A and B are shown apart, each in its own frame.
Chain A
């Protein structure tokens, strides 16, 4: 792949208020590019696979920083870094699932600058697309990964619609499990979208991974008190222990009372374009003990409707085994 030392000429804006950032974003529309930590952004621009006329660096916006307690849970500023998330005492104590997921992203240096907003809004990691090929997701009319020769070991086993790329975000599934709410500001005001609806698959919008449109800024992520101090399970399987994207990840939140799972949210990452809620498993384990027998009873339920591609059948048993580990008891 041709990579360049330098990025092409662009202008750079460093607004300090959300309103100003929205104004600039609207003026540049599709030619403006919001920047949190920039860790997903600069690769696209260096490779000339995507381009922008203006970078809008959000890091100067004080109101988008910090983690605070609210009447119903906590609010995480969109600029909070993954390192802050994984070290924050409040999150570690009450929502350790999210702290763990954030701590497994990429490498320490990337976590030191990568933001939660950037992590959930990052684009898919399909190498054909990242190479700049004009595939479906890039607006073309062909998927290079879903061909007989296509290299699709890392791609989707569920819900593909022309595009077979998967969500690369480690925090996304954890946020869906925790019933997080995404706060989005735009010129027309503020709207709040549940994490589950925030991510969109190719059947809804093949050129975007989230509901964010141009001029939309994710300003905060809220986590309801509902799941505070629940029992959690997080595991990410990748080819390397550091610095690598998930082949499959699993985020589970379980409310266990008298040894019985009253309610759970079990979400897999990297198996489809959005975090995948395993609702059939959630239903099957409701009212059961969190133990080996329950874990064995769901067996291959999670992967039942999978549609694997040439090289990714392994994701089915991998996902099933992660579900088993999550259910068999507290680690």
Chain B
């Protein structure tokens, strides 16, 4: 296999064809005769990373699924897909949530931020990202996007947390590598309390 055909690019390729396939086949059921009126519209406009994206979303579809497989935002990881690891953490209206345990329809009126939305237009990393780099926080990196998003949400509501407050705030993000203290150092650095 071509070294350059990475898993990421492969997934993105599938995404492009998947969207085309689903739009035609999935207009269904909500209009069925025996159903009460008022079921959700499948075609949604959702605000992700400051951009409004039009996307066809199944009623039961999770945000993690929409982000990764329809919008190509594969920075959001899926670990457990059941609210038990934190890899899928994104921020909706400044609050961190599990994208695997949220329906995309539930965030249609919210502003969603994923790890792709943090760096500045000129490519400068967000202070949380820069601090995680400086503190060598990630080990394997699988949990990192989720850790970044939880730290980002924490610093929005509490710009100078104590280490204990930060520990509590980050407690919904598992790290199989056990790099917790390194992430905590990163949070403290990002909040300007460590230099």
How long is the Cα–Cα vector from A7 to B100 in the complex, in angstroms? 11
- Is A19 close to B, CB under 8 A? no
A12 to B59, Cβ gap below 8 A?
Answer: yes
Which residue of B has the minimal Cβ distance to A241?
Answer: B171
Q: What is the interface of chain A mostly: helix, strand, loop, or mixed?
A: mixed
Q: Please tell me which one of the listed residues B30, B60, B95, B97 contacts residue A55 in the complex, with CB atoms under 8 A apart.
A: B60
Q: How many residues of B contact A (CB 8 A)?
A: 34
| A residues near B78, Cβ cutoff 8 Å | 5
| B residues near A241, Cβ cutoff 8 Å | 171
How long is the Cα–Cα vector from A13 to B169 in the complex, in angstroms? 32
How long is the Cα–Cα vector from A14 to B89 in the complex, in angstroms? 24
Known contacts A3-B82, A5-B78, A42-B62, A108 near B29 by CB under 8 Å:
no
Q: Please tell me which one of the listed residues B39, B98, B168 contacts residue A11 in the complex, with CB atoms under 8 A apart.
A: B39
B82 to A46, Cβ gap below 8 A?
Answer: yes
| A residues near B106, Cβ cutoff 8 Å | 38, 57, 59
| B residues near A11, Cβ cutoff 8 Å | 29-30, 35, 39-40, 59
How long is the Cα–Cα vector from A46 to B61 in the complex, in angstroms? 11
B60 to A6, Cβ gap below 8 A?
Answer: yes
Which residue of A has the minimal Cβ distance to B101?
Answer: A42
Q: What is the interface of chain B mostly: helix, strand, loop, or mixed?
A: loop
B60 to A8, Cβ gap below 8 A?
Answer: yes
Interface residues in A20-40 by Cβ distance below 8 A to B read: 20, 23-24, 27-28, 38-39
Q: Please tell me which one of the listed residues B40, B60, B172 contacts residue A45 in the complex, with CB atoms under 8 A apart.
A: B60
A46 to B59, Cβ gap below 8 A?
Answer: no
Which residue of B has the minimal Cβ distance to A16?
Answer: B38
How long is the Cα–Cα vector from A108 to B98 in the complex, in angstroms? 10
Interface residues in B56-106 by Cβ distance below 8 A to A read: 58-62, 65, 78, 81-84, 86, 89, 95-98, 101-103, 105-106
A24 to B60, Cβ gap below 8 A?
Answer: no
B101 to A38, Cβ gap below 8 A?
Answer: yes
Interface residues in A301-327 by Cβ distance below 8 A to B read: none
**Which one of A109-117, A119-127, A263-271, A281-289 is at the B interface?**
A109-117
| B residues near A329, Cβ cutoff 8 Å | none
Min CB gap A79→B, angstroms: 12
* A145-164 near B? 1/0 per residue, CB < 8 Å: 00000000000000000000
A15 to B38, Cβ gap below 8 A?
Answer: yes
Known contacts A57-B103, A109-B97, A42 near B82 by CB under 8 Å:
yes
Min CB gap B44→A, angstroms: 11
Known contacts A10-B59, A12-B59, A12-B103, A5 near B172 by CB under 8 Å:
no
| A residues near B36, Cβ cutoff 8 Å | 13, 23-24, 27-28
Count the A-B residue pairs with Cβ separation under 8 angstroms: how many? 108
A39 to B101, Cβ gap below 8 A?
Answer: yes
* B137-175 near A? 1/0 per residue, CB < 8 Å: 000000000000010000000000000000011011000
How long is the Cα–Cα vector from A45 to B39 in the complex, in angstroms? 19
Q: How many residues of A contact B (CB 8 A)?
A: 38
- Is A239 close to B, CB under 8 A? no
How long is the Cα–Cα vector from A20 to B37 in the complex, in angstroms? 10
Min CB gap A156→B, angstroms: 24
B96 to A9, Cβ gap below 8 A?
Answer: no
B102 to A113, Cβ gap below 8 A?
Answer: yes
- Is A203 close to B, CB under 8 A? no
Which residue of A has the minimal Cβ distance to B169?
Answer: A108
Q: Please tell me which one of the listed residues A13, A46, A112 contacts residue B39 in the complex, with CB atoms under 8 A apart.
A: A13
Q: Please tell me which one of the listed residues B30, B65, B150 contacts residue A5 in the complex, with CB atoms under 8 A apart.
A: B65
A107 to B59, Cβ gap below 8 A?
Answer: no
A46 to B81, Cβ gap below 8 A?
Answer: yes
| B residues near A42, Cβ cutoff 8 Å | 62, 82-83, 101
How long is the Cα–Cα vector from A101 to B81 in the complex, in angstroms? 26
Known contacts A108-B168, A109-B96, A109-B98, A13 near B38 by CB under 8 Å:
yes
How long is the Cα–Cα vector from A43 to B169 in the complex, in angstroms? 23
Q: Please tell me which one of the listed residues B30, B60, B98, B150 contacts residue A110 in the complex, with CB atoms under 8 A apart.
A: B98
- Is A128 close to B, CB under 8 A? no
Known contacts A12-B39, A13-B38, A57-B106, A243 near B84 by CB under 8 Å:
yes
Of listed A12, A23, A243, residue having the most chain B CB within 10 A: A12
- Is A187 close to B, CB under 8 A? no
How long is the Cα–Cα vector from A28 to B58 in the complex, in angstroms? 19
How long is the Cα–Cα vector from A24 to B36 in the complex, in angstroms? 6
How long is the Cα–Cα vector from A112 to B84 in the complex, in angstroms? 14
The chain A residues found within 8 Å of chain B, CB to CB, are 3, 5-15, 20, 23-24, 27-28, 38-39, 42-43, 45-46, 54-55, 57, 59, 83, 106-110, 112-113, 241-243
Across the A-B interface, give the 7 residue pairs with the lowest CB-CB distance, nearest first: A107-B172, A12-B59, A242-B171, A7-B60, A109-B172, A108-B172, A10-B60
5 contacts between A and B (CB under 8 A): A10-B59, A12-B60, A14-B105, A15-B38, A113-B101
